[in-house]
Amino acid sequence: MAQIGLPELLTVSLVATSLLAVTVLPFWMIFKKAGFSPWLALTQLVPLVNLAALFYLAFAEWPIHRDLRR
């Protein structure tokens, strides 16, 4: 049985961090610019919840648009 060493753990950590940044960071900025809480970007890490959040973002009235109309 093979053992997992430090190089393998560092590689897995680097890949996981990169995927997290590529997935969450753009949605963080989109939610923030739309006027929603940027913390909603963390929903992109949960399967099926990420699709619900994407549909909500697409079809909900954005707070920034509501504020601009006033």
The answer to whether position 1 is within a domain reads no
Query: What does the mean pLDDT of the chain come to?
Result: 88
Q: What is the pLDDT of residue 38?
A: 94
CA distance 16 to 70: 43
Domain containing 59 equals 6-69
- Structure confidence at residue 59 (pLDDT): 93
* 42 within some domain: yes
Q: How many domains does the chain have?
A: 1
Tell me what pLDDT residue 16 has: 86
Q: Which residues, given as ranges, of the chain have pLDDT below 70?
A: 1-2
CA angle (33 as vertex; 32, 39 as ends), nearest 5 = 10
What's the pTM value of the predicted model, to 2 decimals?
A: 0.71
Provide the pLDDT for residue 1. 59
pLDDT score of 70? 81
